[in-house]
Amino acid sequence: MASITTAEANELNVGSAINQKIELGTEIKKFQDYGLVVLSGEITADATSGLSIPIPFDVRIIDVIVNCTAANASGTVTLKNGSTAISDAIACVTNHVTARSGTLDDAQVSVGESDSILAVAHGAADRGVVSILALRV
């Protein structure tokens, strides 16, 4: 992932009169360092043991969304850090339906790149795309 350094941000700031006025480099760097990111994984096979979703940097999770891709009467997906739940069980019952986390454990939403983040399905036939909305910290 390409990113700009503080020195490059400063160079952008002085690149033109307009850049100086709006501090373009500083704003780009701020967005890069603290902006909203979406991390996702797709459950295409049995994920009762968990689908690993890599976290490339430290984040604070603000929402989890599951888009169901197969019907399963008792389907749910729970986001976990190892064995500790971050979210409630999110419905994954009806094909093409999107559901969001109803609760996030505020003690668990800060995660880092060394954490083991898993999307854990309730049943072997649960299928869906799990999207994690997070802020870089």
Q: Which domain holds residue 26?
A: 1-34
Q: Within 10 A of 121 (CB to CB), how many other CB atoms are there?
A: 27
* pLDDT for position 25: 93
Q: Cα(127)–Cα(7) distance, rounded to whole angstroms?
A: 45
* pLDDT for position 1: 57
Q: Is 67 exposed, middle or buried (0-12, 13-18, 19+ CB in 10 A)?
A: middle
* pLDDT for position 3: 84
Does pLDDT of 63 surpass 60? yes
Both 17 and 57 in one domain: the answer is no
CATH of the domain at 91: 2.60.120
Both 61 and 117 in one domain: the answer is yes
Torsion of Cα atoms, 41 then 44 then 47 then 53, to 10°: -10
Both 40 and 99 in one domain: the answer is yes
**Angle separating helix axes 24-34 and 6-13, nearest 10 degrees:** 150
Both 61 and 111 in one domain: the answer is yes
Give the tens place of pLDDT for each residue, 4-26. Answer: 999 999 999 999 999 999 999 99
